Amino acid sequence: MGVYRSYSDSELAYLLTQGDELAFTEIYNRFYGLLFIHASRRLNDEEEAKDVLHQLFESLWVKRMQVAPDGNLSAYLYTAVRNRVLDVFAHQKVENRYVDSLQDYIDQDHVLTDYMVREKQMARLIEQEIDALPPKMREIFILSRKENKSHKEIAMELGLSELTVKTQVKKALRILKSRLGLVIYVAFLFKNYH
């Protein structure tokens, strides 16, 4: 299963269309948390959000042949969640508060970029992934990305070679990209940490 973490979203999408269950599991692990946050914020109901996600991933497996193997997997999943959230609103009793919620959702959705959740939530998730890095790698990465220190400065401060620092930063970025997904990695990581 470990090797699947290194696959890109498009590689996983292709393997999914081939009926690869491990690829499906990796997609689930990679995206469930982000999609759940998105759905629960919109619905303001965690149980409802769990139902939406359960139905979404069940449908994803059943309709796996319809996934574009070279498409944007992240956008595909966020669009699917958005549509399911709208379905939930549509099936609620037609009371003012549901109509207002639906309009608020549509209004707010226009400000989302590429179907991503709000920046603060993304930053929090990125922080969690950085915290999960091996201690030395995390220390080097934070000095590089958050304190904007050069490889040479970090090497001198920690008593390491520049090559070691450079290698550790590259490894950290590779790990974060595999865990966060390419779209999130590009949109948020470099904005906040580069």
Query: Residue 145 sits in a domain of what CATH number?
Result: 1.10.10.10
| Cα–Cα nearest to 184, from 126, 104, 131, 137 | 126
Q: Which residue has the higher pLDDT, 68 or 115?
A: 68
Q: What is the pLDDT of residue 100?
A: 55
Whether 69 and 9 share a structural domain: yes
Per-residue model confidence as pLDDT tens digits over 121-155 = 667 777 878 888 899 999 998 888 877 888 999 99
What is the rounded distance in angstroms from the CA atom of residue 100 to the CA atom of residue 89?
10
Whether 97 and 123 share a structural domain: no
Per-residue model confidence as pLDDT tens digits over 88-124 = 776 665 444 555 555 555 555 544 444 455 556 667 7
Whether 86 and 6 share a structural domain: yes
Q: Which of 109, 137, 157 is the last residue of a domain?
A: 109
Whether 11 and 68 share a structural domain: yes
Q: What is the pLDDT of residue 37?
A: 87
Q: What is the pLDDT of residue 145?
A: 80
Percent of the chain at pLDDT exceeding 70: 73
